[in-house]
Amino acid sequence: MKRYLLLLLFIGYNFFSLKAQTIQPFVNGDRVVFTGNSITDGGHYHSYIWLYYLTHFPNRRITVFNAGIGGDVSKQILERMDTDVFAHHPTVVTLTFGMNDTGYQNLKGDKADSVYNAKVMESLKSFDLIQVKLKEHPAVKKILIGSSPYDETSKIKTTPLLKKNEALLRIDVAQQKAAVQNHWAFVDFNRPMTAINEREQRKDSLFTMEGSDRIHPTNDGQMVMAYLFLKAQGLADKKVADVVINAKDKKEEEAENCHISQTVFTKTGLKFDYLANSLPYPLDTIPSGFGQPAKTQAEALKLIPFTHDFNQEILQVKGLKNNNYTLKIDNKTIGTYTADDYAKGINLALITTTPQYQQALAIMHINEERWEIERRLREYYWIHYSILQPKGLLFNDGDATVDSLQKYAKKDFFVAVTIPTYRKARFKSVRDAWQKEIALLTDELYTINKPVTHRMEISQAN
């Protein structure tokens, strides 16, 4: 039975992936709503994707919205499509689900197959209705996302739920099929992330990108998800900039995605003005997010070739005499490198002290602040959609509701930790203020993300 199911999954994936893996890049003015469960709700992948657009396409303004609700299955996503997804007036909607749909039962053999079959079928019934809802908005681009995996293979302490990821893959195949039939886009997180987990576990059996619960990707995993999404959009190999100067022949040989001017060659080096069209991509090195211990966004660089594919700001100077040369940008010393280093090319995107990287860091921190405020709003909506809506109290924020939630919190840990935010957010004026903060931060992001001209100086070191 298991071999038969795996064969179907393999055939389904290879057939549909050939036809439904291309995602159109976002365009100026896009309003992108990422719809999903807690992996979207509390996750960073959509924020990391937006950070790439902010730095690489500074004049292509888009807006990204988090429409994840922790614990959601497809039926619950269906119920909030109008009020929580299309309420943002999107031009693009993404959809991922399945982790909660497949359940958290620990069963074996035929019993596990039977339970998972029933849960997958129930999930796909609501998915069929979601497709109907999506078709009511023909002008909106749709991107279906195969869920990040459930990690069954790590040797961490948490007991794995066997066959759960296999059930997730069945939902994945159904999404691929729907994407092909409806001419929608599709990207798979599950299989590539599973392959990375298994590769790393051959070196470290405790490795996982899915955290201590085997479910929620830690920040390195969220960055891998952003990488897979951007890769599917065909954005790999678009350099931040590529400068090639021949010091011996005193000429500029290449200036990709940038402009070079006011070049002066001297006996001991050269100077020039440099204006790139993009900024380097900054990576957060502070642990945060899902998982104990939490991981950093930057740790994903050990897992994926993000630098090679997306973060190349190359300064190449040929023909320098065999010596050491100091690089200054805006009269600030960046480092000293050999003539051979310059001839091979120096990736400035990896040097965190450059003015352009420091500019990008400010963008990253403001984007994180925006994410934090949006998370407060998502906690408010989680209370409503997960707790109050089943009780017929959707968007009822009266005192009686607060009292009821406080009583409910005594037996529900998640409600207990969310109530402090809810008590503030239940006031419309507070939510409006938070929305204004997000709008202000977004405007600031698109003000400070414009590259500026820098004076580059390469001179022979003393």
What is the CATH class of 2-232? alpha beta
pLDDT at 290: 66
pLDDT at 9: 44
Distance CA 370, CA 46 (A): 12
Q: What phi and psi, each to the nearest 5 degrees, are found at residue 124?
A: -70, -25
Could you read off the pLDDT of 14-28 as tens digits, one per residue? 433 434 457 999 999
User: In which element (H, E) is residue 87 found?
Assistant: none
What is the 8-class DSSP label of residue 93? E
DSSP secondary structure string for all residues of 277-329? SS-PPP---S-BSSTTTTB-GGGGGGTS-HHHHH--EEEEEES--SSEEEEEE
- For the chain, which residues make up each domain, given as ranges? 2-232, 241-277+293-354+452-460, 360-448
Distance CA 325, CA 341 (A): 10
Q: Which of 24, 12, 10, 454 is nearest to 235 (CA)?
A: 24
Q: What is the pTM of this model?
A: 0.94
pLDDT at 36: 98
What is the 8-class DSSP label of residue 82? I
For residue 258, list its beta bridge partners: 276
Cis peptide before 293 (omega within 30 of 0): yes
Give me the tens of pLDDT residue by residue for the chain, a chain 462 residues long. Answer: 444 344 444 444 443 343 445 799 999 999 999 999 999 999 999 999 999 999 999 999 999 999 999 999 999 999 999 999 999 999 999 999 999 999 999 988 889 999 999 999 999 999 999 999 999 999 999 999 999 999 999 999 999 999 999 999 999 999 999 999 999 999 999 999 999 999 999 999 999 999 999 999 999 999 999 999 999 999 999 999 999 999 999 999 999 999 999 999 999 999 999 999 999 999 998 887 666 567 999 999 999 999 999 999 999 999 999 999 999 999 999 999 999 999 999 999 999 999 999 999 999 999 999 999 999 999 999 999 999 999 999 999 999 999 999 999 999 999 999 999 999 999 999 999 999 999 999 999 999 999 999 999 999 997
For residue 393, list its beta bridge partners: none
The pair of three-digit structure tokens given for residue 180, joined into one six-digit string = 């092909």
Distance CA 440, CA 361 (A): 18
Please name the amino acid found at residue 191.
R
pLDDT at 462: 76
pLDDT at 401: 95
Please calculate the CA angle 77-83-86 and round it to the nearest 5 degrees. 85
Give the chain's end-to-end CA distance (angstroms, integer). Answer: 73
